[in-house]
Amino acid sequence: MRTLHRVTGLLYVALAATPQFVVAADQPPQATVRNVPTTHFGVTVADPYRYFENLKDPQVAQWMKAQADYTRRVMHRIPGRPAILEAIQRYSDATAARILDVLQVGEKIYYEKMLAEENLPKLYVRDGFDGEERVLVDPDANLPSGVHHAALDYYAPSDDNRYLAYGISAGGSEDSVLHIIDVQTGKPTGDVIDRAQDAEPSWLPDGRLLYARLQALAPGAPATDKYMNQRTFVHVLGANPDTDVAVFGTGVVPGIEMTPTETGYVTHVAGSPFLIGVAFNGVAREMRIWSAPLSSLKGAATPWVRIADTADAVIDFAASADTIYLTTHKGAGRYRVVRTSLAHPDITKAETVVPETDAVITGIVAASDALYIRKMHRAGDSELARLAHGQSEATPIPLPFLGDLQNMTADPRQPGILFFLGGWTRFGQYYAYSVAGGITDTGLAPQGPYDSSADLVASNVDVRAGDGTLVPLSIVHRRDIELDGMRPTILYGYGAYGMSETPFYRPGFLPWFDRGGVLAVAHVRGGGEQGETWYKAGFQATKPNTWRDAIACGEWLISNRYTSSQQLAVMGGSAGGILVGRAITERPDLFGAAIDQVPASDLLRAEFSANGPPNIPEFGSVTTEAGFKALLQMSPYHAVTDGVKYPAVLLITGINDPRVDSWEAAKMAARLQAASSSDKPILLRVDYDAGHGMGSTKRQAYAERADIFTFLLWQAGLEEFQP
């Protein structure tokens, strides 16, 4: 995530006539309070560090640099850190290569691959699983001056495998620039399109490209305009993208009203004579969907026909030829799948082909032979089923082992699917399934000596929350540890957007387990582990359930002798920062430490950042009384109270973060440092070559993990980690 600057003196001085902060050698810099109180619906709230929101302010920038330098000095004084970092690298790099994002198009297999000695993955292609591989895209090739690293954000081959579109962004910014290359030669076509974040590129059979593009902002435009008015265009190779014709989006198609905050894309499913247009209201999961004949694509005059509206509660779809399958939560809290025609869609008469069951439907993919359905149980374990086209009953497909099925993909012109399967104690592999061959290992992902561990054991329990709700909790640790109530324990949770915490394993976590550490993953409300009802039980006004579920899980771990308050650490990131921040402000006595990664911390001001408007459907808005009350209740920054003995906290941010601005972590750090009456450290770790975590290099990830484990083991009292 890391370019930090060290200041060696005992005093930090702002670049102004009067020093804005000072710091002794063993203390973080103290920020000046400049309170900006605001009143919403009769309630006045303080904002002592409002000025932090201007990250370009020299005083703010200097304070953050000083915080970063201080944190780096503190972490590097801890004697156990070098051994932790070495172990993370040794365990993680023992596997020859890591494979991800596999895609089959016709006879070609595309995938990202990172060799053990490499820092970022490259994109490869081969003919069939046994074919010779070759590099197609190296994100770090030809970096512009001043750019330390770049990452591959997405890629899309054409149906005939002639061309490939892909997005590249620098420094974890996710500000993608779309490029196109000739797959056979690997040479660029010269087509370069900026403002292509989340472009969702899709090829037409005639070689034209559909892609979504952000609007060009006028000088001085507010940050909140960044993701407004996104549109989908058609690009002809060699043409100037600024002259591309819009076919979908805000203000494009008469009769299709889209608000400025709605985003969307148009896709062509290989082998289908139809186009599909999709629109979302920010991060809301419910889609609006249209279809149109491929032959009738005529810019704004394209004759789109509505398939589903917001009220139809569709959250996923898959298409094959002239059929579209829709996953909906309308009348089904754990979801069901319905089927209708692309030519003459009528969702009111759509046939339910996969009914709701106790397992949650979490993914569908259409191949030429069938629809494949992924389902999930309470603690995240998956099951797979196959529904032959035209049939009405799905057949279960036994998996090689109990775990989480991810990255399910198919070429809709071919039978069968590809998927990744892993678990809590094994890294997993890519498998292929067909009726003729069953499930087979593709051989793409080499297995390393630490990619599964017989020394680890995983279990699932139900914890009773304060309101009586049973909350699933997954626990992983070495099978030989003694449950003496003294185990260093990470309690991890997220609980937002209906996203689920599913089984995962990384060899880089073995240094934690080797030192007797426990990993506990709380499947709190706000996530999707038990469907739509579970999600909406940790949403806006019900958001307190999210952190109170985590608190209940922490209490259970202590009462069942896994750990103690001193050794218990709560950890989460992004929207999980709400869980972490509100858990430690509501129950500071319960936790010895907290890891707050790229955290959402100031919920009253977040909607005024670039990524704020798209998130209003998830969290609410201060412009309504109900929204303000919910946001104030869930905002960690506003819940910090002077004089409270807070646990040790390591806050982590990347300065290029496009999702949660770095000032949120900075404001939370400054507030905790000023308020806490304990002698425990409040550290702010800033990476100046990173964003939200996407696009960070392997070495950045290793260094961050080493700091996390080191910080927690230091606070848990392990002797080798005491400075």
pLDDT band at 142 (very low <50, low <70, confident <90, very high): confident
Q: Is the pLDDT of residue 258 over 70?
A: yes
The 10s digit of each residue's pLDDT in 199-227 is 999 999 999 999 999 999 999 999 999 99
The 3 state secondary structure assigned to 342-409 is CCCCCHHHCEEEECCCCCEEEEEEECCCEEEEEEECCCCCEEEEEEECCCCCCEEECCCCCCEEEEEE
pLDDT tier at 600, thresholds 50, 70, 90: very high
DSSP state of 63: H
DSSP state of 28: P
Nearest to 290, CA basis, from 328, 247, 259, 241: 247
Distance (Å, whole) CA 233 – CA 252: 10
Helix axes 58-76, 662-675, angle to 10 degrees: 70
b/e 259-292 (16+ beta carbons within 10 angstroms → b): eebbbbbbbbbbebebbbbbbbbbbbbbbbbbbb
Query: 177-196: per-residue pLDDT in tens?
Result: 999 999 999 999 999 999 99
CA distances to 288, 315, 396, 675 from 328, rounded to whole Å, are: 12, 6, 21, 46
In the chain, % helix, strand, coil (3-state, to 5) comes to 20, 30, 45
Mean pLDDT lowest among 25-34, 478-487, 694-703: 25-34
Given a cut of 50, whether residue 19 has pLDDT beyond it is no
Predicted pLDDT of residue 25? 53
Record the tokens describing residue 238, joined without a space.
């060699």
CA dist., res. 453 & res. 514, Å (int): 11
66-82 pLDDT, tens per residue?
A: 999 999 999 999 999 99
Instruction: Using the structure block, give the residue that is written with the tokens 């937002």.
Output: 496
Report the distance separating Cα 363 and Cα 337, nearest Å: 10
* Residue 613: φ, ψ to 5°: -55, -40
pLDDT exceeds cutoff 60 at 325: yes
Task: Select from 681, 677, 605 the least CA-distant residue to 636.
Answer: 605
Q: Which residues on neighbouring strands pair with residue 654, listed in sequence order?
A: 687
| Beta carbons within 8 Å of 280's beta carbon, 6+ residues apart | 262, 263, 264, 286, 287, 288
Residue 386 confidence (pLDDT) above 80: yes
Which pLDDT score is estimated for 144? Answer: 83
- Helix pair 612-619, 625-634: axis angle to 10 deg: 90
* CA-based nearest residue to 670, from 63, 71, 11, 74: 63
> Which residues, including other chains, have CB under 8 Å from residue 445's CB and lie 6 or more apart?
97, 98, 99, 428, 429, 430
Tell me how far apart the alpha carbons of residues 352 and 59 are, in angstroms, rounded to a whole number. 60
Tokens at 354, concatenated: 């996969």
Buried b / exposed e over 155-170, threshold 16 CB at 10 Å, is bbbbbebebbbbbbbb
pLDDT classification of 696: cutoffs 50, 70, 90: very high
Q: How far apart are CA 512 and CA 38, in angstroms?
A: 44
The 3-class secondary structure across 628-675, one letter per residue, is HHHHHHHCHHHHCCCCCCCCEEEEEEECCCCCCCHHHHHHHHHHHHHH
For 623-671, the pLDDT digits (tens) are: 999 999 999 999 999 999 999 999 999 999 999 999 999 999 999 999 9
Cβ-based burial of 576 (10 A; exposed 0-12, middle 13-18, buried ≥19):
buried
Taking a C-beta distance cutoff of 8 angstroms, is the pair 227, 212 a contact? no
Helices (DSSP H) in 495-654: which residue ranges?
A: 510-514, 532-536, 544-559, 576-586, 612-619, 625-634, 636-639
pLDDT on residue 380: 82
Q: Please, which residues have CB within 8 angstroms of residue 561's CB and are 6 or more apart in sequence?
A: 483, 484, 485
pLDDT at 563 over 90: yes
Q: Does an H or E element contain 83, and which?
A: helix 81-92
Average pLDDT, the chain: 95
Give the DSSP letter string of 484-506: SS---EEEE----TT--------
Q: What angle do CA 717, 720, 723 make, to 5 degrees?
A: 80
Q: Tell me which H or E stretch contains 336.
A: strand 336-341
Q: Cα separation of 192 and 167, whole Å? A: 10
Long-range contacts of 182-189 (CB under 8 A, 24+ apart): 183/108, 183/125, 183/136, 183/157, 183/158, 186/134, 186/135, 186/136, 189/163, 189/237, 189/238
**Which amino acid would we find at residue 535?**
Y
Q: Which positions ≥6 away from 251 have C-beta within 8 Å?
A: 229, 258
Q: State pLDDT tens for residues 273-309.
A: 999 999 999 999 999 999 999 999 999 999 999 999 9
Give the integer Cα–Cα distance in Å for 545 and 318: 33
- Asked if pLDDT for residue 161 goes beyond 90, the answer is yes
Non-local (6+) Cβ contacts of 160 within 8 A are 106, 205
Q: Using CA atoms, how far apart are residues 583 and 571, in angstroms rounded to an integer?
A: 10
> Is the confidence at residue 13, as pLDDT, over 70?
no
- Count of helices and strands (H, E) across the chain: 11, 38
Please indicate whether residue 20 or residue 311 has the higher confidence score (pLDDT). Answer: 311
Q: In the numeric block, which tokens belong to residue 571?
A: 């950890």
Q: Measuring CA to CA, which residue among 492, 669, 616 is closest to residue 68? A: 669
Residue with tokens 């952000």: 214
pLDDT band for position 349 (cuts 50, 70, 90): very high
H or E stretch at 596: strand 593-597
Tokens standing for residue 247 = 């076919």
Beta strands at 370-376 and 360-366: parallel, antiparallel or unpaired:
antiparallel
The total number of residues shown for the chain amounts to 723
Strands annotated E in 27-78:
38-40, 43-45
Is 492:594 a contact under the CB 8 Å cutoff? no
CB 412 within 8 A of CB 367: yes
Instruction: Work out whether the CA dihedral 335, 337, 341, 346 comes out positive or negative.
Output: negative
pTM for the full predicted model: 0.95
Which residue is it, tokens 């419910």? Answer: 286
